Amino acid sequence: MIPAAVVGLLSGLAVIALSALAASEYDVALAARFLDAPAALITLGGTVAAVYAAFPPSTVFEGFKSLACIFEIPDKSAGEAVWRIVRLAEAAARDGVLAMEELAADTGDPFLRKGLMLAADGAPPETIRSAMETELEYLNERRAGAIAVWEFIAQAAPAWGVIGALTGLVAALRFPDGAGAAWAVRAAPAAALYGVAAAYLLAKPAAARLRLAARREALVRGMEIDGVLAIRAGEGPRAIRERLENAAGP
């Protein structure tokens, strides 16, 4: 299944391309004039420069890296978290809490592994909760930084599009009869188009999807914390399933 983000992005680009074709009476050569390298350099290059001026490199890297997560099909859901915790509870009820140490080594989730290892070591519940909540705060902070980067891009890209348009206007005024005027006619509207498209077709949707992903992850992580503590307290698998399903909601 193709992620909805990919469908939305491609649909938006297709609408722009079809509009360019229609405006040029379906002449591909004329439609290609909507592409302007200097305008793209001013708008996109300026936006990236502004991002690096506003955030530390580590936060910028985290924001750009999160772009890949936006187009992935989510692999974490509340239902899967319930199933995973109940399976661990069944293993603990059958083989004892120490059996979770082996299961913890097999899980690919460092967050859940930390809680399981602490429970297997007999750590007090408050120690387990504190360690997992501290890790969750760190994950939330990273996610918040990525969201801030894309929200900033959504604001900066249209502004740099205006800067590109003004650059073209200045060129047209300074060189009214030369090559600068011809470039300005192409670059000014193109820069504005690139800036607005980058903001409303990529940056704003990216920030919105990251906010939704952060809320989903917070729910799943909270369920994992409650599940590990319930297993540590010796609760049965059925009771744990009912509690987590109530937390997950419909």
Amino acid making up residue 187: A
Give the span between the Cα atoms of 28 and 23, in whole angstroms: 11
Asked if residue 76 and residue 22 are part of one domain, the reply reads: no
Asked if residue 45 and residue 26 are part of one domain, the reply reads: no
Residue-by-residue pLDDT tens, the chain, 250 positions: 456 777 777 888 888 788 777 777 777 777 676 777 888 888 999 999 999 999 999 999 999 888 877 766 555 577 788 888 888 888 877 877 666 667 766 677 788 888 888 887 888 989 999 999 998 998 888 889 999 999 999 999 999 999 988 887 777 777 666 555 666 666 778 888 899 999 998 899 889 988 888 888 888 888 889 888 888 888 888 888 888 888 776 6
Asked if residue 122 and residue 21 are part of one domain, the reply reads: no
Token pair belonging to 30: 């004329």
DSSP-derived secondary structure letter, 74: P
Token pair belonging to 187: 């670059």
pTM over 0.95: no
Q: How many domains does the chain have?
A: 2
Structural domain boundaries, residue 79: 37-248
DSSP-derived secondary structure letter, 33: G
What angle (nearest 5°) sits at the alpha carbon of residue 49, between those of residues 47 and 55? 100
Interaxial angle between packed helices 78-95 and 99-106, expressed in degrees from 0 to 180 and rounded to the nearest 10: 150
Give the span between the Cα atoms of 248 and 250, in whole angstroms: 7
Asked if residue 45 and residue 22 are part of one domain, the reply reads: no
